Structures are given as structure tokens and as C-alpha cells.
Amino acid sequence: MSAKQNITLSLEKDLLRRARAMAAGQGMSISALLAEGLRQMADNSEHYSRCQREALAMMATGFHLGGQGLGDRDGLHDRDALR
């Protein structure tokens, strides 16, 4: 486990009251509740960034969707080949 550091946090009284109730309902301290919430936010942000990088890399390389090439321009416009 990494070292912990205390911080000072200013909250509105109503928010603090609700946070205390939430923490008590989950059997944890406000500090633990906030730490868990921040941990989840950081994990989600890292996951989103990783998924975004992977999606952009896939878009850069493109997708092969099957099918065959259309051939050259002259072949496409050759009216005799269509008969």
C-alpha cells in the first residue's frame, strides 16, 4: 500500500451532512468514501484514455471489410466489358 497524505477539503454544510450519511450507510468514513470515489474516477479516466488510443489506432489503420478491389479506372469505364 502506498503512503497516505492528509488534505484539507472545504465543503458546504449540506453536502458534508449528505456525505456523512452516505459514508455511514456504507459503513465507512467520509475519508474512505472520498478516496474510493476519487480512485474510481481516476481508473475510469485511465480506462477511457486507453480505449480512446486503441480506437484511434484502429481507425488509422482502417478495417478490411471483405470484398474485392474495383480494379483500375479504365476497366471500370470499359462499356464492352459490361455486355
The 3-class secondary structure across 26-57, one letter per residue, is: CCCCHHHHHHHHHHHHHHHHHHHHHHHHHHHH
Decide which of 66 and 40 is more confident: 40
Inter-residue contact 76 to 70 (CB < 8 Å): yes
What angle separates helix 30-61 from helix 13-25, to the nearest 10 degrees? 90
Decide which of 63 and 18 is more confident: 18
> What end-to-end distance do the CA atoms of the chain give, in Å?
76
pLDDT in tens, 15-36: 999 999 999 999 999 999 999 9
Cα–Cα distances in angstroms (integers) from residue 42 to residues 35, 39, 47, 48, 77, in the given order = 10, 5, 9, 10, 56
pTM to 2 decimals? 0.60
